[in-house]
Every structure is written in structure tokens, then in C-alpha cells.
Amino acid sequence: MAKDPVCGMEVEPSQTQYKAVYKGEIYYFCSLACKKAFEKDPEYYLTHGPTGMPHEHGHGEEHGGHHMHGHMHGGGHSHHCC
């Protein structure tokens, strides 16, 4: 198992077509979005570690309850990744 450095998800190298080589290391990704995010700024992800999905903005909003963030199951727009 390899780890997607962008979202932190475990990726099976033989199962993914998304990979990139950076400084002699091979990195695997769960999706094209993660691969592109990594290629755009590899140092950021290697320095900061996985940040979650590219458009994720944390869990802090849940208890505010001002809009429907709790109902992401079943077809949210962020489904492109993982």
C-alpha cells in the first residue's frame, strides 16, 4: 500500500493509474484531482502532509449549523476524489 500524499488515502499501486515521480520517489494518487494538486505544488504536500481532499474546508463548521453541511452522503459535489 502507498499513501496518497494529497488526501492521505491509502492507494494500492497496482490499482491506480495516477502516479507521479518527484525527486526519485514515486507517489500514487486516488484520483486525477489529487495528482494534479501534487504536481502543482509537490513541496507543499511533502512538507505539510495530507490536507484532505483538495476542496475540503475542515469540520469546524458542523456545529454552527448555518447550512446543510451535514448532508454530504450520496452525491455531493466533492465526490470526484476518493
* Least distance from Zn ion to the Cβ atom of residue 30, Å: 4
Residue number, 37 or 47, with CB nearest to Zn ion? 37
Q: Considering only residues 24 through 43, tell me which ones interact with Zn ion, judged by CB under 5 A.
A: 30, 34
Residue number, 30 or 45, with CB nearest to Zn ion? 30
CB neighbour burial string for 15-46, b if at least 16 within 10 angstroms, e if fewer: ebebebeeeeeebbbbbebbbebbeeebeebe
State the Cα–Cα distance between residues 70 and 68, nearest whole angstrom. 5
Helix (H, G, I), strand (E, B) or coil at 3: strand
Residue number, 49 or 63, with CB nearest to Zn ion? 49
List residues near Zn ion by CB under 5 A: 4, 7, 9, 30, 34
